[in-house]
Amino acid sequence: MISQKARYALRALLALAEGKSPTIGEIAEEQKIPRKFLEQILLDLKYQGLVSSRRGRSGGYELHMPADQITFGRVLRIIDGPIAPLPCLSRTAYKPCNDCRDEKTCEIRRVFARVAESARDVLDRVTIAEAMQKPGLAEVGDLSETEAKSA
């Protein structure tokens, strides 16, 4: 599960990808994101080179790179850290599980390694630009129906 902060970051980036240069206040109001929280999120994204800001009367925020170069995976790692359901599966913040007898034969790790790899594969391919394409919403609904049938 992703954090609320990551969801806000993705929503802010999707708003900026529309090509306008909105102010923090405009983004906060339109996306229903607490302004102070949004300020910190945009600072994090600015520090990582995803957004830039302009001061003055015509100031605001904009994407610092094309939306088709910003993946969901990159945003999630910036905001939430590693994309791994277990600490022993993290590529960048590995920690052994305290209650695991043997990592190499751990059945739980083996299953969640497949889950993590699938999630990373999708998140590292889907860009902000791709997410903005309205037909993609039907695919999300189709996925939910498929998952519900298999559960």
Q: pLDDT (tens digit, 9 = 90+) per residue, 120-139?
A: 999 999 999 999 986 655 45
Domain with CATH 1.10.10.10 in the chain: 4-63
Per CATH, which fold does 4-63 belong to?
Arc Repressor Mutant, subunit A (1.10.10)
Burial of 66 (0-12, 13-18, 19+ CB in 10 A): exposed
Which amino acid is present at 28? A
pLDDT digits (tens, 9 = 90+) for 64-117: 999 999 999 999 999 999 888 888 888 778 888 888 888 888 888 889 889 989
* pTM listed for this prediction: 0.80
